[in-house]
Structure 1
Amino acid sequence: MTQLNLKPNFNEPGQRYFRAFSPGDDFYELLIDTHRDLTDEQSALLNARLILLLSNHIGDLSVLREAMKLARDGV
C-alpha cells in the first residue's frame, strides 16, 4: 500500500493561488534560489543536508523507504 503522497501537495498556509501549479512553481524558485552562487560541492552538501532535515521532519521510515525506492527507479 502506498503511503507516499505522489499528488501535487505544495501550499502555503493563508495563501490563495489562482492556478494549481503556482505553489509548485514557487517551491522550484525557492530551491533554485537556495542553490544560486554555490559551487557544485556546496550544492551537493546543501542537497544532502536538505534531504536529512526533511527526512527527519517526515520521520516515517516506511514513507522514506518508499520515496527512496521511487527516486532510485530509472536512475
Structure 2
Amino acid sequence: MSELILTPNIDRGDDFYAALLKAHDGLNKADSDALNARLLLVLANHIGDGEVLAQAIEAAANAAPR
C-alpha cells in the first residue's frame, strides 16, 4: 500500500505556485474552478493509485473549514 506524502515534496514549489497563479490570470470564477477541476483530474490520473487518492480526499476533506 502506498502512503500519501503530506510533507513538502515539490521541487521549486514557489515556481509551481507562480505557474498555477499565472494559469488563473484573467479567468472568471467558473473558469478558474474548471481549471482546478481539470488539473485535479490530470494529477489524479498521473498518481493512478486509488488508495493514495482516497487518502488525499480524506486529508483534504479533514483540512477544509466546516
- TM-score relative to the length of structure 2: 0.88
- Residue number in structure 2 paired with 1:43: 32
Deviations 1:8-51 (A, max 9, x none): 1112xxxxxxxxxxx11111101100101001000000000000
Q: Which of 51, 55, 65 in structure 2 is aligned with 1:66?
A: 55
State how 1:1-75 maps to structure 2 within 5 Å. 3-11=3-11, 23-75=12-64
- TM-score relative to the length of structure 1: 0.78
Q: Which residues of structure 2 form unaligned runs of 5+?
A: none
Q: Computing the radius of gyration over CA atoms, which structure comes out larger, 1 or 2? A: 1
Among the aligned pairs, what percent are the same residue?
Answer: 47
More helix as a share of residues: 2
Measure, in 1, the Cα distance between the counterparts of 2:13 and 2:42. Answer: 20
- SS of residue in 2 equivalent to 1:73: helix
Aligned residues between the structures: 64
Q: Extract structure 1 runs of 4+ deviating beyond 4 A.
A: none
Q: Which residues of structure 1 form unaligned runs of 5+?
A: 12-22
